[in-house]
A and B are shown apart, each in its own frame.
Chain A
C-alpha cells in the first residue's frame, strides 16, 4: 500500500510538471511566435490605441442629453442609449452588457414569461432605434416584430457575440446611412465587405463583424466623432 501511494504521488507530480507547466507553456510559446496577433486576442487599434477585439462584441452607446443640454444622470451614472450612427450588436446576457471579463449566458427558458418580456423589450428597442424622427421606419419592410430578425431579439450565448446576421445589418444599414448622410449603397457595400462568409463556404453561418464595420464607417468621415 505504501509503495502504491508512493508511485501514485510520484506519478501525479511528474504528470503535473509535464502537462501542467511543460505542455501549456510550450503551446503558449509556439503560439506567440507563429500566431502573435491571434494568440493575443485579435486586438484592433485605432490611432495607435487598442479599441477592442475583432472577436468580441462591444457596446456602441451614447449619453442621453436632456432638454437642458446636459447629460442625464441616474444614480450617479450617465443614462445611455444606442448610438444610431453605429450598427448595434446582439442583446447580451452579461452584467454589464458585453462584459468580456465575465461572460455568461442569459439562461432564458423557452417557456418562460421572463423570456417573453425580455424578447418584447428587445423588439421594442430595435423597432424604436430603427424609426426615423418623423415616425416612419427607416427600413420600409420592417414594421412589426414579425420583421425583426431573430438575432436582433434573442440574447446571444456568450453575451459578447461579435456578429449580427446579414438580415439584421441590412435593416440597420437604412438607419446608419440616414443618420450619417451616406448613401445606402455605400453602407451596404461596407456591410458586404465586413461580412464573414461560412468557413470553407460550408461551416457555420455568415455574420457581420460589428466592430470592424463601425470602424470602417468612421473612416468614411461622415458622422464620426
Chain B
C-alpha cells in the first residue's frame, strides 16, 4: 500500500460526501414537484413527452396500480429490446466491424435482454465482437436509462409511503420515471459524456480502424459510440461495458482521472438518494444514520480489498516475484489490472461497483486474490444495501431499517415504530420476504448450477481448478440475483468462434438460469417494496414520546450494521467458505 493510494481513496470519499447532499437535495425538489433551475428548460419537453406517451401525470396511483404500470412498462421494454438484439442482420451500421454481424442466438439474447432490463447488465458476450452500433444505442442505451429510472422511482415510492400522512397513494409511475430521466439522468449523463470525451473516451460511428503497427503487424481497433453509453452506464449503475473488458478498456476509461470520475458517477445517485430521503421525510438525521451505515461498510470493504491486492497472490509469490512497492512500480497483484489504475485505483473501483449494482469492472475480478475476491462476494452478500443500485440500494436498506426497528422494538419491549408509523405484522412479513428473495434466489441457482453437469459446463477450463470453479459459479448467480453484473469472467454462457456471431451458440442452461435469476430477484423485491410503501402510506402518525426508540443515533447505526451483517453472513457463510475463504486461507495452488 502507498501513501498516494490511500490519498486517492480518502479524496474520493471526501468528494463523495461533499456532492451527495447537493444532488440529494436537488432530487428531493424534483420529486416533490418544486421548481429547480432546469424547470424552465425541461418543463415543455416534459409535457410533450406525457402527451406522446398518452400519460396523465397528475393521476395519483396506489401501490398496486403503480406496480402494475411498472411491470407492464418493463414487459414492453423487454420485448422491444429482444426484438432489437435479434434483428442485427438487417440493422444499419452493421458491417462496421469488418464482417456482417448476425444476431446472437436466442438463449444468449434472452440472457442479455433480461439482464439489461433489470439493471444487471451481465454480459455473456463481448460488445465489440457481438453487437452492432445500432444494438448498442437503440437497444442497450435505452435500457441503461429506463432500468435506472425504474429502480429510482421504486425508492421514491417507498419514501412517499413512509412520509405520507394523508393519502395511501404513492405517486404516478410514468411521471416519476419521466422526471427521473429528464431532470436527473439526461443532464448528468450528457455533461459526463463530454467530460469523458475530453479525456480520450471515443465516440464515433466509424468503421473499425485497420492499421499496420510500427513493426508492420496488423491490428484492428474497434470503434463506436462509446462516451454516451459509458456515462449513463456508470450514472445509472448499469455497468454493461461497450467493450468486452468494460472499464478496463482504454477507450472506456483512459486515465486516472476518468477512473475517478466514473467511480464518482456510480455512487452519485445512490449516495444522493439517501439525502433525498432525509429531505422528503423531513429528517436530515435519519438520512445521516443511513448514510453512516453505508459508509462504514463501504470503507471497510475498500480497506480489505486494497490491503489484499497490495499483498500479491500465491501464484506470484510461487513464481518468485517480489510484490512489495518498489521505486516506480506499484507492486502487488497486478494480474488482470491496468498499469494506469494500479492497485489502489483497481481495488477502489472494484468495491465501488460491487457495493452498488453497477458491476462495471476496470480489472479482472477473477484474478483478484482470495481475500480481495472475497470483498465483492461480501458486498453482493449484503444484497445491495451499501449504497446499492440507483434506487434499489435505498429501498433495500430501508427494508433493513424496518427490520432493525422491529428487532430493536422486540429488545426493548415496545411496539416498533418508524418515523411515527407503527410497524406491524403485515409490514414485517413483507419486509422479510422482500429481503430474503434475493439471497435465496442466488443460493438456489448456485446449487442448481453446481449440482448439474449442464451447469458445470460453464466453468472455465483455464485456471479455474479447485475452489475457483465454485467461486466462479457462485459469483455468477450472486451477481445476477443482485442485478450487479460483474463477473468472475471465466464463467461462460456463450461460445463464439469468430466476431460477428457466425457459428456461435449459447449455453442454454447458464443463459436461461441467469436470465430468470435476474428477472425474479429484481421484480419480486420491487413488488414487496411497493407493497410496504402501500401498507405504510395510509398509516396515522403517532407523536414522538419518551419511550420512542431513536432511529437517528449511533446506537441505531450499530444495530443496523449488525442486522445487515447478520442476515448476509447467516445466509451466505457456508457458501463463502467453500470458495473465496478457502482460497484466502491457503497459499496452495490448484490444477
> Would you list the 3 A-B pairs with minimal beta carbon distance, nearest first?
A204-B256, A145-B320, A205-B342
Query: A39 touching B330 by the CB < 8 A rule?
Result: no
Residues of B within 8 A of A123 (CB): 319-321
Query: A19 touching B145 by the CB < 8 A rule?
Result: yes
B570 within 8 A of A: no
B454 within 8 A of A: no
| Bound Cα distance A8, B73 (Å) | 5
Query: B11 touching A116 by the CB < 8 A rule?
Result: no
Given contacts A61-B215, A101-B222, whether A39 and B203 have CB atoms under 8 Å apart is: yes
A106 within 8 A of B: yes
Question: Among B146, B336, B591, which residue has its beta carbon within 8 angstroms of that of A113?
Answer: B591
Residues of A within 8 A of B529 (CB): none
Measured CB to CB, the closest approach of chain B to A33, in angstroms, equals: 11
Query: A38 touching B316 by the CB < 8 A rule?
Result: no
| Bound Cα distance A211, B35 (Å) | 52
Question: Among A39, A51, A61, A108, which residue has its beta carbon within 8 angstroms of that of B202?
Answer: A39
A215 within 8 A of B: yes
Query: B340 touching A207 by the CB < 8 A rule?
Result: yes
Given contacts A12-B146, A157-B248, whether A50 and B8 have CB atoms under 8 Å apart is: no
What are 22 A-B pairs with beta-carbon distances under 8 A?
Answer: A5-B72, A7-B53, A12-B76, A26-B190, A28-B204, A35-B198, A41-B202, A51-B212, A51-B213, A58-B213, A58-B217, A107-B367, A108-B463, A112-B590, A114-B462, A154-B335, A157-B248, A165-B329, A166-B328, A166-B329, A199-B257, A205-B330
Query: B76 touching A110 by the CB < 8 A rule?
Result: no
| Central interface residue in B199, B203, B222, by most chain A CB within 10 Å | B203
Q: Report which B residues bind A (CB closer than 8 A).
A: 4, 7-8, 11, 49, 52-55, 68-69, 72-73, 75-77, 80, 97-98, 126, 128-129, 137-139, 141-142, 145-146, 174, 181, 186, 189-190, 193-194, 197-206, 208-209, 211-215, 217, 219-223, 225, 227-229, 231, 243-245, 248-251, 254-257, 259-260, 312-316, 318-323, 326-342, 345-346, 361-364, 366-370, 372-373, 460, 462-468, 488-490, 499, 583, 586-591
Residues of B within 8 A of A218 (CB): 214
Query: B53 touching A102 by the CB < 8 A rule?
Result: no
| Bound Cα distance A30, B364 (Å) | 33
Query: B245 touching A103 by the CB < 8 A rule?
Result: yes
| Bound Cα distance A30, B204 (Å) | 10
Query: A52 touching B214 by the CB < 8 A rule?
Result: yes
Query: B489 touching A100 by the CB < 8 A rule?
Result: no
A68 within 8 A of B: no
For chain A, the bracket of interface size reads 35 or more
Query: A151 touching B339 by the CB < 8 A rule?
Result: yes
| Bound Cα distance A34, B466 (Å) | 52
| Central interface residue in B8, B223, B331, B462, by most chain A CB within 10 Å | B462
| Bound Cα distance A102, B97 (Å) | 10
Measured CB to CB, the closest approach of chain A to B386, in angstroms, equals: 23
Beta-carbon nearest neighbor of B371 in chain A:
A110
Beta-carbon nearest neighbor of B491 in chain A:
A107
Query: A60 touching B215 by the CB < 8 A rule?
Result: yes
Residues of B within 8 A of A56 (CB): 219, 221, 250-251
Query: B217 touching A59 by the CB < 8 A rule?
Result: yes
Query: A55 touching B213 by the CB < 8 A rule?
Result: no
Residues of B within 8 A of A28 (CB): 203-205, 225, 228
